[in-house]
Amino acid sequence: MSTRESKERLELLQGTLDLLILRTLILGAHHGQGIARTIQQTSEDELLVEHGALYPALQRLEERGWISAKWGTSANNRRARFYSLTTAGRKQLVKETTKWKRLATAITRILGAELEET
């Protein structure tokens, strides 16, 4: 069901969506559509976030107590469920970010070395 437009974007790696959601929420409470938009915009439209996939992830994070949710009103006066980061979520974000950075560095190092060989 992918369109041409979406093929050009990067598919999200498994497990990274949670991290991105947490990162987005550090700026303040957001509803699901806002989070999706923010991720897309911040990544300069490089990342493909299937909006539907966002919700199970939000649900999961909520159950783990990393984010909390409550119904509110959006800027254009629509009812929406707003998510915000909990203290536990903040800690988790720091942890995950560090982990991700180490992983990215390591992978970059390996990939870089390989390129030099060829």
Partner 1 sequence: MFRGRRKISDFSAEIEAHLQLEIDRLQEQGLSAEEARTAARRAFGNVTRAQERFYEQRYWGGWDHLLQDIRFGLRMLRKSPGFSAVAILTLAVGIGANTAIFSVVNSVLLRPLPYPDADRLAIIWSGLGNANRAPASNFEVFQIRQRTKEFDQVGGIWVTNGALPGDGDVEQVKVASVTANFLPLLCPKPELGRFFAPEDEPNAPNAQRPIIISHGVWVRRFGGDPGIIDRVVRFGPRSAVVIGVMPQNFRLIFPGGSSIATNVDVFYSTRIDASDPLGPAYLRLIGRLRPGSNIATAQAEADSIATQITSFDGNSGISNFRLYIYSLQAEDVRDVRGTLLFLFGGVAFVLLIGCANVANLLMARATQRLRETTVRVALGASRARLVSQLLTESLLLAFLGAVVALGIGWAAVRAILAVRPPSLANLGEVHLDLRVLAFTFAVAILTSALFGLAPMITVGRLDLLQSLKEATRPTGWTGRKWNSALVSAEVALGFVLLLGTGLLMRTFVNVLRVDPGFRAENVSTFQLPPPSYEMLRQLQQNLMAFPGVESVSAVSHIPLDDTANWYDYYWKEGTPTELRSTTYADHRSILPGYFGTIGATLLHGRDFTEADDAAHEHVIIIDDLLARELWPDGDAIGKKLNITDSPSGPYQFQRDWAVVVGVVRHIQCHSLTAIVRPQIYVPFQLAPRPMAIVVRTAGTVSGLTNSARKQVALLNKNMPVSRVAPLSDYVARARSESRFASLLAMSLSSVALLLACIGIYGVLSYSVAQRTSEIGIRMAIGAGRSDVMRMVLADGFASVLLGLTVGFLLSLVLTPLVAGLLFGVKPGDPENYAMILVVVLLVSALASFLPARRAMRIDPLMALRHE
33 counts as binding partner 1 under rule CB under 8 A = yes
What lies within 8 Å, CB to CB, of 117 at 6+ separation is none
How many residues bind partner 1, per CB under 8 A? 23
Number of Cβ atoms within 10 Å of the Cβ of 25: 25
Task: Give me the residues paired with residue 81 across strands.
Answer: 71
Q: Which is nearer to partner 1, 63 or 114 (CB)?
A: 63
> Least distance in Å: CB of 95 to partner 1?
23
Using CA atoms of 102, 107, 109, 110 in order, give the dihedral in degrees to the nearest 10.
Answer: 140
> Least distance in Å: CB of 91 to partner 1?
19
Closest-CA residue to 97 (of 4, 34, 16, 12): 16
Contact by Cβ (8 Å): 68, 86: yes
Among 44, 63, 114, 116, interactor with partner 1 by CB under 8 A = 63
50 counts as binding partner 1 under rule CB under 8 A = yes
37 counts as binding partner 1 under rule CB under 8 A = yes
Structure tokens, 43: 């990544």
Q: Which is nearer to partner 1, 1 or 111 (CB)?
A: 1
Q: Give me the residues that bind partner 1 (CB under 8 A), please.
A: 1, 3, 31-34, 36-37, 50-53, 55-56, 59-60, 63, 74, 76, 78-81
